[in-house]
Amino acid sequence: MTDCLFCKIIKKEIPSEILFQDETITVFKDINPAAPVHLLVIPNKHIPSVRGMDESDEIILGKLFSGAKAAAEKMGIAETGYRLIINNGPDAHQEISHIHMHLLGGGNMMHPMG
Ligand code: 5GP
Ligand code: ZN
């Protein structure tokens, strides 16, 4: 997708703080952090949302979890804990139509969610 912000970040057409990138996923810092650690873990393939995925994307999306796990270790929050959030659609305030997993941590978070 040529007009997708996150596709441009993946291709480094827009600057961002990329922590990790391989052939399948990219991990970078959220520009407007909602927690001391706030990363976005995204597939390099343009998949708009969970609704927009198909079965052939299951392996790619599974790798988001491996990427989040490694990033949490790297950021030193694996033991203290973190939240993984994927907003989908208007009620969840999904603003960027390229599926992304928020990794939030580095401090105690609000409970319950909602
Ligand atoms: P959503 O609300 O779609 O789940 O989350 C989109 C996230 O992308 C937000 O947390 C927002 O701060 C982040 N974001 C939006 N534009 C940019 C950008 O240009 N660079 C980076 N690094 N993050 C962005
Ligand atoms: Zn995209």
Query: Where residue 68 sits, what CATH number does that domain have?
Result: 3.30.428.10
Q: What percent of the chain has pLDDT over 70?
A: 99
Q: Domain for residue 114, yes or no?
A: no
What pLDDT, on the 0 to 100 scale, is given for residue 43? 98
Tell me the C-alpha to C-alpha distance, in Å, between residue 6 and each of 32, 57, 76, 111, 114. 15, 18, 25, 29, 26
pLDDT digits (tens, 9 = 90+) for 36-72: 999 999 999 999 999 999 999 999 999 999 999 999 9
Confidence of residue 114 (pLDDT cuts 50, 70, 90): confident
Q: Which protein residue's CA is at the shortest distance from atom 21 of ligand 1? A: 31
Domain count, the chain: 1
- What domain range includes position 77? 5-83+91-105
Which ligand gives the minimal distance to the CA of 39? 1
Q: Domain for residue 101, yes or no?
A: yes
How far, in Å, from the CA of 96 to the mean position of ligand 1?
Answer: 7
What pLDDT, on the 0 to 100 scale, is given for residue 2? 76
Catalytic annotation on 98? no
Q: What is the DSSP string of 69-85?
A: HHHHHHHT-TTT-EEEE
Q: Domain for residue 112, yes or no?
A: no
Q: Domain for residue 70, yes or no?
A: yes
Of the candidates 98, 100, 102, 111, the residue annotated as catalytic is 100
What pLDDT, on the 0 to 100 scale, is given for residue 28? 98
